[in-house]
Amino acid sequence: MAAMVAVMIMVRIGTFSWRSLRELAIHPKSSSVVMIGTVIVTVATHDLAKGVLTGVILSAVFFTRKVGKMLIIDGTQVDTDSRVYVVKGQVFFASAGQFVSSFNYLDVPKGVIIDLKDAHFWDLTAVDALDRVVMKLREHGATVEVFGLNDASETLVDRLGKHRTPGAALSSGH
């Protein structure tokens, strides 16, 4: 047993990159937080699996936040009666709020075109966001045309979307 403990201690010392402690200031903050969090949880719980799980969860959270900020929506007034919104990026649970708030609901023209050829919808929250935008614009009197969905997004919107259903109304839930 003592020999196994010695081997484990040597593996831990040999595996850990001591140089990385000095480089914390130059690494991206998210990477440093992941490393420190993993080490703290591993040392506190004496369980490497919990430390690794902490690192994976922190990495997922930081990745989600980063990708969620990569959504660009440009609205261009074509004439007095129409506006085109061009959506670029990934729409999912982390960017759905930004998606909904990027449309102008105060000054709604008669025709609105939403160009999604450079966007991808990933989940139910994204489809719900599209439903909310389309139905909210319709409530303000606009005729809304959505086009350019890629095949995967089109399949998701067909299965889960409500805005294509005749008589669909904006729900207050979700």
Contact call for residues 113 and 84 (beta carbons, < 8 A):
yes
Quick one: pLDDT at residue 165?
79
Q: Which element (helix H / strand E) includes 151? A: helix 151-160
Confidence label for 169 from pLDDT (cuts 50, 70 and 90): low
Identify which of 1-5, 10-14, 26-30, 97-101 has the greatest average pLDDT: 97-101
pLDDT tens for 112-160 read 999 999 999 999 999 999 999 999 999 988 899 999 999 999 998 898 8
CA distances from 171 to 35, 43, 70, 160, 162 (A): 43, 48, 28, 14, 10
Confidence label for 2 from pLDDT (cuts 50, 70 and 90): confident
> 21 or 30: which carries more pLDDT confidence?
30
Res. 6: pLDDT tops 70: yes
Quick one: pLDDT at residue 133?
93
Confidence label for 21 from pLDDT (cuts 50, 70 and 90): confident
pLDDT tens for 35-70 read 889 889 988 998 888 988 999 999 988 888 787 678
20 CB neighbour count, 10 Å cutoff: 13
Q: From CA 48, how far away is CA 15, in angstroms rounded? A: 12
CATH class belonging to 72-160: alpha beta
- Which phi and psi angles does 89 have, rounded to 5°? 130, -170
